[in-house]
Amino acid sequence: MSKAKSGQAREPLFQLSRRGVISPAKAWGIRITAVLLGFVACGLIALLLIDKLQEDPSQIGRFYSDFIQGSFGKGKVWKYLKDTAMLLCISLALVPAFRMRFWNIGGEGQTLVSVLGAIAVNIYLGGKIPEWLLLILMFVGAVLSGAVWAGIPAIFRAKWGTNETLFTLMMNYVATFLVSYCLVIWVPNGSSSLSKMETGRLPGIGQTYIPIIIVVLLITVALFVYLKYTKQGYEISVVGESIRTARYIGINEKKVIIRTMIFSGALCGIAGYLIAAGLDHTITAESIGGRGFTGILVAWLGKFNPLGMILTAALVQLLNQGASQISRDFNVRGALPDVFVGIILFFVIASEFFINYEVRYRGHHTRDQERTGGVK
Amino acid sequence: MDKQLALQMRGITKHFGSVQANKHVDLDVYQGEILAILGENGSGKTTLMNMAAGIYYPDEGHILIDGQEVVIRSPKDAFAYHIGMIHQHFKLVELFSAAENIVLGMKEEGRYDVKRVMKEVQEIADRYGFRLDPAKKIYDMSVSEKQTVEIIKVLYRGADILILDEPTAVLTPQEITRLFDVLRRMKADGKSIIIITHKLNEVMEVSDRVAILRKGEHVATVNTAETSEAGLTEMMVGKKIDLDIHRSDPVHVEPRLEVRGLNIYDHEGIHKLKDVSFTANSGEILGIAGIAGSGQRELLEAISGLMKVTTGEILFRNPKKGQPVSLAHKSVKQIRELADRGAFHDRNMNPVSFGGMNDLAVRKWIESGNVLFREDEELHLENRNPLEIRQLGVHLSFVPEDRLGMGLVGNMDMTDNMMLRTYRKGNGSFLNRKFPRDQAHQIIHELEISTPGVSTPVRRLSGGNVQKVLVGREIAYMPKVLLAAYPVRGLDINSSYTIYNLMNRQKENGAAVVFVGEDLDVLLELCDRILVMNGGSVTGIVDARTVTKEEVGFLMTKTDRREETAE
Closest CA to B168 of B182, B158, B157: B182
For residue B346, the model assigns a pLDDT of 87
Looking at residue B375, the DSSP 8-state letter turns out to be S
A80-331, what's its fold? ABC transporter involved in vitamin B12 uptake, BtuC (1.10.3470)
Residue B482 backbone dihedrals phi, psi, to 5 degrees: -120, 115
Beta-sheet pairing, B372-373 with B344-345? antiparallel
DSSP letters spanning B403-427 = IIIIIS-TTSBHHHHHHHHHTT-SS
Within 8 A of A369 by CB-CB distance, chain B residues are 60
Looking at residue A18, the DSSP 8-state letter turns out to be E
Looking at residue B113, the DSSP 8-state letter turns out to be -
Summarised one tens digit per residue, pLDDT across range B456-466 is: 899 888 778 89
**Could you tell me the strand order of the sheet in which B60-65 lies?**
B19-30, B5-16, B60-65, B68-70
Least confidently predicted of A6-15, B485-494, B530-539: A6-15
Are residues B471 and B422 located together in one domain of the fold? yes
Amino acid identity, position B492 = D
Q: Which residues contact B379 (CB under 8 A, 6 or more apart)?
A: B315, B316, B317, B318, B392, B394
Confidence of residue B560 (pLDDT cuts 50, 70, 90): low
Quick one: B105 exposed, middle or buried, by C-beta within 10 A (0-12, 13-18, 19+)? exposed
Are residues B116 and B168 located together in one domain of the fold? yes
Mean pLDDT score, A230-244: 95
What is chain B's Cα-based Rg?
A: 28
Is the model's pLDDT at A1 over the cut of 60?
Answer: no
Amino acid identity, position A319 = L
Summarised one tens digit per residue, pLDDT across range B433-445 is: 999 999 999 999 9
**Could you tell me the strand order of the sheet in which B537-543 lies?**
B396-399, B481-485, B512-516, B284-289, B529-534, B537-543
For residue A374, the model assigns a pLDDT of 34
Are residues B265 and B311 located together in one domain of the fold? yes
Looking at residue A194, the DSSP 8-state letter turns out to be P
Are residues B273 and B287 located together in one domain of the fold? yes
The number of CA neighbours under 13 Å toward the Cβ of B456 is 17
Amino acid identity, position B538 = V
Q: What percent of chain A has pLDDT over 70?
A: 93
CA–CA distance, A53 with A330 (Å, rounded to integer): 8
Residue B401 sits at the chain A interface (C-beta within 8 Å): no
For residues B324 and B346, the answer to whether their CB atoms sit within 8 Å is no
Mean pLDDT score, A269-278: 95
The CA-based angle B108-B110-B113, given to 5 degrees, is 75
Within 8 A of B407 by CB-CB distance, chain A residues are 245, 248
Are residues B132 and B231 located together in one domain of the fold? yes
Which of B424, B454, B477 is the last residue in one of the domains? B477
Each as own residue / partner, the long-range contacts of residues A69-74 (CB below 8 Å, 24 or more positions apart, any chain) are A69/A322, A69/A325, A70/A318, A70/A321, A70/A322, A70/A323, A70/A324, A70/A325, A70/A326, A71/A317, A71/A318, A71/A321, A71/A322, A73/A325
Q: In chain B, which residue's Cα lies nearest the Cα of A244? A: B406
For residue B561, the model assigns a pLDDT of 52
**A207: which strand partners?**
A205
Write out the residue range of the structural domain in which residue B473 sits.
407-477
CA–CA distance, B168 with B195 (Å, rounded to integer): 10
Residue B358 inside a domain? The answer is yes
Q: What percent of chain B has pLDDT over 70?
A: 98
Write the residue in A1, A12, A358 that is nearest to B17 by C-beta.
A358
Closest CA to B483 of B461, B463, B511: B511
CA–CA distance, B399 with B363 (Å, rounded to integer): 36
For residue A333, the model assigns a pLDDT of 79
For residue B251, the model assigns a pLDDT of 85
The structure's pTM equals 0.82
**Could you tell me how far CA A209 lies from the centroid of its own chain?**
21
Length of chain B: 567
Residue B275 inside a domain? The answer is yes
CA–CA distance, A7 with B9 (Å, rounded to integer): 16
Closest CA to B190 of B164, B153, B160: B160
Is the model's pLDDT at A100 over the cut of 80?
Answer: yes
Closest CA to A156 of A145, A172, A168: A168
For residue A367, the model assigns a pLDDT of 37
Is the model's pLDDT at B566 over the cut of 50?
Answer: no
Amino acid identity, position B548 = T
Q: Which residues contact B311 (CB under 8 A, 6 or more apart)?
A: B261, B262, B263
Confidence of residue A74 (pLDDT cuts 50, 70, 90): confident
Summarised one tens digit per residue, pLDDT across range B475-499 is: 998 999 999 999 988 777 888 888 9
C-alpha torsion sign, points B231, B233, B239, B241: negative
Amino acid identity, position A30 = I
Q: Do A250 and B65 touch (CB under 8 A)?
A: no
Per DSSP, which regions of B410-536 are E strands?
A: 481-485, 512-516, 529-534
For residue B492, the model assigns a pLDDT of 77
Write the residue in A12, A20, A244 that is nearest to B406 by C-beta.
A244
**Which of A228, A235, A241, A248 to mutate to test binding with chain B, by most B CBs within 10 Å of its CB?**
A248
Domain regions of chain A by residue span: 80-331
- The distance of B361 to chain A (nearest Cα, Å) reads 33
Is the model's pLDDT at A368 over the cut of 70?
Answer: no
Is the model's pLDDT at B352 over the cut of 90?
Answer: no
Q: A with B: how many residue pairs have Cβ under 8 Å apart? A: 111
Which of B433, B455, B477 is the last residue in one of the domains? B477
Mean pLDDT score, B111-132: 88
Are residues B54 and B181 located together in one domain of the fold? yes
- The distance of A269 to chain B (nearest Cα, Å) reads 23
Per DSSP, which regions of B356-453 are E strands?
A: 372-373, 377-380, 396-399
Residue B53 inside a domain? The answer is yes
Is the model's pLDDT at A148 over the cut of 70?
Answer: yes
CA–CA distance, A214 with B453 (Å, rounded to integer): 38
Q: What is the CATH number of the domain that holds B27?
A: 3.40.50.300
Within 8 A of B18 by CB-CB distance, chain A residues are 20-21
The CA-based angle B532-B464-B86, given to 5 degrees, is 70
Least confidently predicted of B69-78, B139-148, B555-564: B555-564
Are residues B16 and B164 located together in one domain of the fold? yes
CA–CA distance, A71 with A318 (Å, rounded to integer): 6
SS3 state of residue B14: strand
Mean pLDDT score, B504-511: 94
Closest CA to B194 of B91, B76, B102, B83: B83
Summarised one tens digit per residue, pLDDT across range B170-220 is: 777 788 899 999 999 999 999 999 999 878 888 999 999 999 999 899 999
Confidence of residue A10 (pLDDT cuts 50, 70, 90): low
Residue A231 sits at the chain B interface (C-beta within 8 Å): yes
Mean pLDDT score, B547-562: 82
Q: Do B71 and A245 touch (CB under 8 A)?
A: no
Summarised one tens digit per residue, pLDDT across range B11-43 is: 999 987 777 889 999 999 999 999 999 988 778
Are residues B221 and B312 located together in one domain of the fold? no
Domains: count for chain B: 4
Q: Do A245 and B77 touch (CB under 8 A)?
A: no
For residue B370, the model assigns a pLDDT of 86
Which of A115-124, A322-331, B517-526: highest mean pLDDT?
Answer: A115-124
Write the residue in B400, B423, B460 that is nearest to A234 by C-beta.
B423
Each as own residue / partner, the long-range contacts of residues A217-222 (CB below 8 Å, 24 or more positions apart, any chain) are A217/A85, A219/A89, A219/A92, A219/A267, A219/A270, A220/A88, A220/A92, A220/A306, A220/A307, A220/A309, A220/A310, A221/A306, A221/A307
Is the model's pLDDT at A150 over the cut of 80?
Answer: yes
Summarised one tens digit per residue, pLDDT across range A280-327 is: 999 999 999 999 999 999 999 999 999 999 999 999 999 999 998 999
Which of B182, B211, B237 is the last residue in one of the domains? B237
Is the model's pLDDT at B565 over the cut of 50?
Answer: no
Are residues B293 and B326 located together in one domain of the fold? no
Rounded mean pLDDT of chain A?
89
Are residues B52 and B104 located together in one domain of the fold? yes
CB contact residues (below 8 A), chain B span 278-317, against chain A: 304-306
Mean pLDDT score, A88-99: 96
CA–CA distance, B252 with B512 (Å, rounded to integer): 11
Mean pLDDT score, A46-71: 88
Residue A359 sits at the chain B interface (C-beta within 8 Å): no
- The distance of B270 to chain A (nearest Cα, Å) reads 21
For residue A18, the model assigns a pLDDT of 73
Write the residue in B11, B73, B405 that is nearest to A9 by C-beta.
B73
CA–CA distance, B47 with B59 (Å, rounded to integer): 12
Q: Which residues contact A111 (CB under 8 A, 6 or more apart)?
A: A90, A93, A146, A268, A271, A272, A275, A288, A291, A292
Mean pLDDT score, B517-543: 93
**Could you tell me how far CA B370 lies from the centroid of its own chain?**
46
Scanning chain A, the segments in alpha helix (DSSP H) are 24-49, 51-55, 60-72, 77-99, 107-125, 131-160, 164-186, 210-229, 231-241, 243-248, 253-273, 291-301, 306-329, 336-356, 367-372
For residue A5, the model assigns a pLDDT of 42
Are residues B13 and B146 located together in one domain of the fold? yes
SS3 state of residue B515: strand
Residue B564 inside a domain? The answer is yes
Are residues B441 and B333 located together in one domain of the fold? no
Write the residue in B69, B385, B407 that is nearest to A376 by C-beta.
B69
Is the model's pLDDT at A369 over the cut of 50?
Answer: no
ipTM, two decimals:
0.83
Within 8 A of A231 by CB-CB distance, chain B residues are 423-424, 429-431
